[in-house]
Structure 1
Amino acid sequence: AAHRVLRYLGHTKALGVTYHGKEKGFKGCSDSDWGADIDTRSSTSGYLFFLHGGVITWKTGRQKTVALSSTEAEYYGLSNATREALWLRSLLRSLGYNEGLDPVVIEGDNQGSLALTENPEFHQRTKHIDIKHHFLRQEVGEKRVAFSYVETTKLAADGLTKPLNGMKHAAFVQQLRLESWAHTEPAKE
């Protein structure tokens, strides 16, 4: 496995994030698998945030709480992404950047978890979910974040939670705006 990682790093060392002026704003996306860890049955979630089309931060990791459904796993992932979004929103504001911050849009591919962020009607099925995750509803109500459905095949965060074959990896690299810097000329002074 270590040899495979080193080979991957060697083949991608010339890639860098590219920011394009034609894409404006700030947005995020979140995804989770469900219970993929065979030993612990914990889920993996990940999020990405983009500014002007280029990725500025990302994280992937195991969830601390075992989810009882895919909707719950995705909801936990949205919770993690929302905490990061609020921190980034504050940071960007302190730097004088305000575009796309009211609300911050976070994309996801699980319609059940997205509905849960706005509708507490699922009480019987979700009353066991810790209060630390239900703050999402408050953030939606106060218009600090909004959630948007995106098909799995178009969701960039999908690449953080599942193994990628060659074609999917190439698409993931493109979604992140990673481009080769190997043939670029240095800036002239």
Structure 2
Amino acid sequence: MRKPPDSGLVARIGEDPEAFEAFYREHVQAVLRYATRRTRDPHAAADLVTEVFLAAISAAGGYRPQLGTPIAWLHGIARNVAASQERRAARIWAAEGRIAGHRLLDGDDIARLEERIDAERASRQLLERIALLPRGLREVLELVAVDGLSVSEAAKALGTSTVAARVRLHRARKALQQPGANPDSSPSPSSLVEA
């Protein structure tokens, strides 16, 4: 069972280093899971985690507990940061033909991120199957089944109603249970998406 969120902690992370450290320690693993499922590159995963927490510091003053829990708020930020990174990468790719340059990581950082990326391999395989779903269905399924948010937290992160999120989640689960999915290529979707 998840402990009750400390909404006051979120409001202080932009000004109080100790509050930020406590918030970071509480949520870094969730953000790291999110990042390592979305990339095979340790540098990109580290960059995404860093940018999510920098964005959270900047947005902390605007956090409203009535709109969702801190983890739902942070997943919303992560989603926006990841989308922004994808748009930026596409622009760079089109302009330069390839993405160049990475932040420097030492060997231990790279080894830890490579281990984490390997550990998330099954999740990435399932995400590849989920990628075939329409965007709205895919997003709510990821937030609920993969990131562990409640349906109402996912709805808040996506900016939609809880009813709409429930309908999308039902449709996503139903679509993954349709024939044609190859159960041998990755974990069983029904075992991973059951609520």
Q: TM-score range by the shorter chain?
A: under 0.3
Structure having the larger proportion of residues in strand: 1
Structure having the larger proportion of residues in helix: 2
